Structure 1
Amino acid sequence: MRDLFLLAILPFLLYAMTKRPFIGLGLWIWTALFFPNGWVYGMASNIRYNLLFTGVTVLCYMAQKHKPKLHLGGLGAMVLLFFLWTTASTAMTLASPEVSWDIWSRFAKVMMLFLFVLLIVEKKLHIEFILWCVVLSVGFYGNLEALKFIASGGGHKIAGMHGHVLGDRNELSLAFVMTLPICYYLLGEYRNRSRVVAVALLGTMCLLVTAVVGTQSRGGFIALTGFGAYLFLKTDRKIPILLLVSVLALGLSYFVSDEWMSRMDTIESVDGDASFMGRVVAWKLSFILAVQNPFFGGGFKSLEYFPVWAELSRDFFSYEWFYTGDALPHTDVGRAAHSIYFQVLGDQGFAGLAIYLTFLGGAFLKAGRIARDVKSEGCLKWVGSLATMLQLSLFTFALGGAALSLAYFELVFAIIALLIVLESRVLRAVRSQQHVDESSATTEAVTRRTAETAATS
C-alpha cells in the first residue's frame, strides 16, 4: 500500500517541483531526513528519491528566468571555506582513499543543499515549507516510534533505520531534540490560524520528547534538558511550559525502565562508565592525530581506519594529562570519535576545527542578533521567533553533539543557510515592503489633506 501511494503521488510532486523550485528543495531535505526507501518495497524501493528530487530541483532552478542573487556573506564564505578544507584533507587522507572520498562526496551533497537554500529561498512561505518538511520527516518518525514505545509499555527500543544517516539511536535522538524548536516556532505561527494544526504540533512535541526517552540515549537526554532550560529562559509562556513539562514527566515515569534509570545515573559518574571512558579514549587519539597532522588532520574516517588507530595508540601514554581512567585503546578495531568537536579535530586538524567552530558560533550569534534587531518591530515578530528557535536548534546540536559523531549533519547546514537568507533576503524584503506601505500611506494622507484644503478654500 505504501508503495502504491508513493508511486501514485510521485508525478504530482514532480509537477509541483517544476512550477515551484522551493517545493523541490523542501522534498530534497525531506528525503534526506526521512529515508523513504526504507519504508517501501518492490519497484518503489528501486527509485533513488533523494537523487531524483535533487536533480529536478537543480534543473528547475536553472530554468528560472529571474534568479535571486546569491548572498554568502562572511558566514556563508566560512562554510564554503570549510568545504574546501575538507577537500584538501581528503586529498591527503591517512585513511582508505575510497572511504574518505565516499564521505567527501556525501558532504559535497550537503554543501549543494546549503547553496541551493541560499539560491532558492526568498520568503516566509519558502522557509515554513522547509520547516514543515523537517517536521514531516524527523517528527513523523519520532511520533511513530514514540507511539510504539507507549503501546509496548516502555519496552520498545527506538533506533534509526539501517543504512540511514540517522541510523544510530544516539544521533536519531539528537535529531528529535533539534526538531522540537522547529515545532515550537510553527506552533506559535499556527496557534491562531488552525486549532487542529496547533494541537497536532503540540502532540508532536510531546511524542518527540517521549521518543528521546525511548532511545535511551544519554546524549539525547542531556540535549533535551538543555533545550528545556533554554526554552524556559527565552519564552514568555513560562507557566504553561512548566505545567506541560510536569505532566510529561509524570506520564513518562510510568514507562521508563530500571535499565533507563541506571543509564541516566551514569551521567553523574562518568569515571565508572566504561562506555563513556571508551569515548574519551577516542577523543584522546583524535587529539594525538591532530597534533601529528595539525593543519589538515587525517581526513574523513581516518580515526576509524585501524592502521591509523594502531599507530596513534603507540603515543597514547605520551599525553598523561589527557585523563582516560583505566580505559585503553582497542587492539583490534578503530572507533569513531563520538564527538563533533573531536571528529572535526581528527578529520580536519586544528585549523579545520577553528573554521568549523567559527561558522557554528557565527550562526548562533547571527540568530541572536536577528532576534534582537526585530524585537521592537511588531510586524516582524515571526522573524524574531524563528531566529530564536533556529538558535535553540543549533544550541541543542552543539550540546548533544559533544558526544556524537554527527559533525556533517544536513539539518545543521540547512539551518545555517536559513539564517543567512533570513537576514540578507527575507528581512530586507519585509522591511522594504513595510517602507513602501508607509510611504504610500503618507502620500495618501497628504493628498487627502490637500483635497480637503482645496475644497474648503
Structure 2
Amino acid sequence: MRDLFLLGILPILLYAMFKRPFIALGMWPWTALFFPNGWVYGIAGSIRYNLLIAGITIVGYLVMKNKPKVTFGLLGALVLAFFFWTTISTMVTIGRPEVAWVFWNRFSKVIALFVFVVLIAEKKLHLDVLLWGVALSVGFYGTLEALKFVASGGGHMITGMSGHVLGDRNELAVAFVMTLPICVYLLGEYGKRARILQVGLIGVMCMLVFAVVGTQSRGGFIALLTLGGYLFMKSDRKILLSVLIVILVAVLTNFVSSEYTERMDTIETATSDASFMGRVVVWKLSFILAMQNPFFGGGFKAIENYAVASEMAREFFSYSWFYTGDALPVGFARAAHSIYFQVLGDQGFGGLALYLGCLYFSWSKAGKAAKTIRRAGGARWLSTMATSIQLSIFAFAVGGAALSFAYFDLIFTLFGLVIVLETRLVPAELKRLAAARSAAAAQATSTALVPSPAPAPRPVPATRQGA
C-alpha cells in the first residue's frame, strides 16, 4: 500500500518540484533524513529518491527565471573552503583511497545541498518548506519510535534504520534534539492557524523528548539537557516552560528503566567508564594522526583503518599529558566518536580550524540576526526562526562532541539557512521597516504643512439704535 501511494504521488510531486524549485529544495533534505527506501519494497524501493530530487532541484534552478542575487559571505566562504580542504586531504590520504573517495563523494552531495539552499531560498515560504521537511522526516520517525517506546512501557530500544545516515542510535538522538527548536518555530508560526497543527506539533515535541530517552544515548541526553537550559534562558515564557518541563519529567519517570538510570549515572564517573575511556583513546590517536599530518590530516576515515591506527599507537606514550587513564589502544580500529577529533584526524589542524569557524559563525550570525530584528521592531517570526536555527546548531555542537557526526546533512543545511537569513531576509526586513518609517514620517510632515482652516469670524454684537 505504501509503495502504491508513493508511486502514485511521485509524478505529481516531480511536476510541482520542477515548476517550483523551492519545493524540490525542501524535499531534498526530507529524502536524506526520512530515507523513503527504508519504508517501501519492490520497484518503489529501487528508486534513488534523494538523487532524483537533487537532480530536479538543479534542473529547476537552471531554468528558473529571476534567480536571486547570490552572496555567500564569510560563512559561505568557510564552508566552501572546508570542502576544498577535504578534497585535498582525500587526494593525499594515508588511509584506503577507495574508502576516502566514497566518503568524499557522499560529502560532496551534502555540500551541493548547502549550495542550492543559498542559491534558491529567498523568502519566508522557502525556509518554512525546508524546516517542515526536517520536522516531517526526523520528527515523524521520532514520534513513531517514541510511541513504540511508550507502548512497551519503556522497553523498546530506539535505533535508526540500517544503512541510513541516522542508523546509529546516538546520532539519531542528536538529530531528535536538533529538530526540537525547529518544531518550536513551526508551532509558533503555524500552530495558531490550525488547532490540529498546534496539537500535532506539541505532540511531536513531547515524543521527541521520549525518543531521546528511548535511544539510551548519553550524548543525546546531555544535548537535551543543555538545549533545555539554553532554551529556558532565551524564552519569554519561563513560567509556562517550567510547568511543561515539570509535567514532562513526571510522565517520563514512569518509562525510565533502572538500566537507563544506571547508564546515565556513568556520565558522572566517565573517567572510570571503559566505554568512554575507549573513546578518549581514539581521540588521542586522532590527535597523534593530526600531529604527524598537521595540514591535511589522514583523510576521510583514516583513523578507522587498522594499519593507520596501529601506526599512530606507536606514539601513544609520547603524549603523556593526554590522559586516558588505564585505557590503551585495543587490537582493532574504531571511529573517532567526536565531531571535533573526527575532523582533526581526517582534515588536520587546518581543516579543524575551518570547521570550527563554520560552527561558530553560523551560531553567532543566527543570534545576531535575531537580535537585530528584535531591536528594530521587525517581524517576530524572523527573530524566532533565527533563534531556533541557532539553538539547533548549539544542540549539534554539544551532542556531537562524542559522535562521529561531523559531515551531517542537516548541519550544513542550517549553515545555508543562516546565510539566507543574513544576506536576504534580514536586510529585506530592515529595508521594509525603513520604508515604512519614511512613509510615516513623510505623512506626518505633509500633515503639519497643510494650513489649518481660518477660524470663522466672530459675530459683531448689535448696537442699540439712538432714540
TM-score normalised by the chain length of structure 2: 0.94
The question of 1:94 aligning with 2:94 is answered: yes
Whole-Å Cα distance in 1 between the matches of residues 442 and 245 of structure 2? 52
Q: Residue 201 of structure 1: CA displacement?
A: 0.8
* Partners of 1:155 and 1:455 in 2: CA distance: 86
Equivalent position of 2:51 in the other structure: 51
Q: Distance in 2 between matches of 1:456 and 1:87?
A: 82
Query: What letter corresponds to residue 294 of structure 2 in structure 1?
Result: P
For residues 40-62 of structure 1, give each alpha carbon's deviation from its aligned partner in whole angstroms, at most 9, with x where no partner exists. 00110010000000000100100
> In the alignment, what sits opposite 1:416?
415
Q: CA deviation at 1:104?
A: 0.5
SS class of match (2:304): coil
CA distance in 2, matches of 1:180, 1:377: 27
Q: 2:464 matched to which residue of 1? A: none
SS in 1 for 2:165: coil
Partner of 1:266 in structure 2? Answer: 266
Superposed displacement of residue 435, structure 1? 3.5
Aligned to 2:461: none
In 2, distance between residues paired with 1:223 and 1:451?
62
Unaligned stretches of 5+ residues in structure 2:
457-467
- Equivalent pairs: percent with the same residue? 62
Give matches, 1:305-320, under 5 Å. 305-320=305-320
Residue in 2 that maps onto 1:378:
377
Residues 106-162 of structure 1, C-alpha deviations (whole Å, 9 max, x = no match): 111111011100000011111111001000000000000000000011111000000
User: In the alignment, is residue 118 of structure 1 matched against residue 115 of structure 2?
Assistant: no
User: Structure 1 unaligned runs (5+)?
Assistant: none
Count of residues in Structure 1 that have an aligned counterpart in Structure 2: 456
Give the superposition deviation at 1:452.
8.0
Return the offset for 1:441: 5.1
| C-alpha deviation, 1:271, in angstroms | 1.9
**1:192 Cα deviation (Å)?**
2.6
Amino acid at match of 2:17: M
Q: How many Å separate the matches in 1 of 2:227 and 2:133?
A: 21
**Deviation of 1:330 (Å):** 1.7
* Aligned residue identity for 1:421: V
Aligned AA for 1:73?
G
Q: Amino acid of the residue matched to residue 338 of structure 2? A: S
Equivalent in the alignment of 2:127: 127
Task: String of CA shifts for 1:149-177, please: whole Å, max 9, x gaps.
Answer: 00011111000000000000000000000
Residue in 1 that maps onto 2:278: 278
Match of 2:199, SS state, is helix
User: C-alpha displacement at 1:340, in angstroms?
Assistant: 0.3
What amino acid maps onto 1:200 in structure 2? G
Give the aligned partner of residue 254 of structure 1.
254
Asked whether the equivalents of residues 149 and 214 of structure 2 are also in contact (C-alpha less than 8 Å), the reply is yes
Match of 1:5 in 2: 5
State which drifts further: 369-378 or 38-47. Answer: 369-378
Tell me by how many angstroms 1:387 deviates. Answer: 1.3
Q: Within 5 Å, which residues of 2 pair with 1:8-407?
A: 8-331=8-331, 333-407=332-406
Query: Which amino acid counterpart does residue 26 of structure 1 have in structure 2?
Result: G
CA distance in 2, matches of 1:17, 1:455: 65
Q: Distance in 2 between matches of 1:439 and 1:255?
A: 58
Shift of the alpha carbon at 1:33? 0.6
Structure 1 residue 444 displacement after superposition: 5.9
**Superposed displacement of residue 451, structure 1:** 7.8
Deviations 1:358-390 (A, max 9, x none): 121111111121122111233322221111111
Correspondence for 1:430: 429
Greater shift in the superposed pair: 212-221 or 246-255: 246-255
Structure 1 residue 438, shift from structure 2 partner: 4.3
Is the 2:191–2:201 contact (alpha carbons within 8 Å) kept by the matching residues of 1? Answer: no
| Residues 340-371 of structure 1, C-alpha deviations (whole Å, 9 max, x = no match) | 00000000001111111112111111112112
In 2, Cα distance between the equivalents of 1:412 and 1:155? 31
CA distance in 2, matches of 1:42, 1:129: 29
Q: Return the offset for 1:18.
A: 1.4
Distance 1:28 1:452, change over 3 A: farther
CA distance in 2: counterparts of 1:456 and 1:362, whole angstroms: 64
Q: Letter of the aligned partner of 1:303 in structure 2?
A: I
> Over alpha carbons, which structure has the higher Rg?
2
Change (3 A) 1:442 1:161: same
Distance 2:307 2:173 in 1: 31
Q: Distance in 1 between matches of 2:371 and 2:429?
A: 16
Bigger CA drift: 427-436 or 180-189? Answer: 427-436
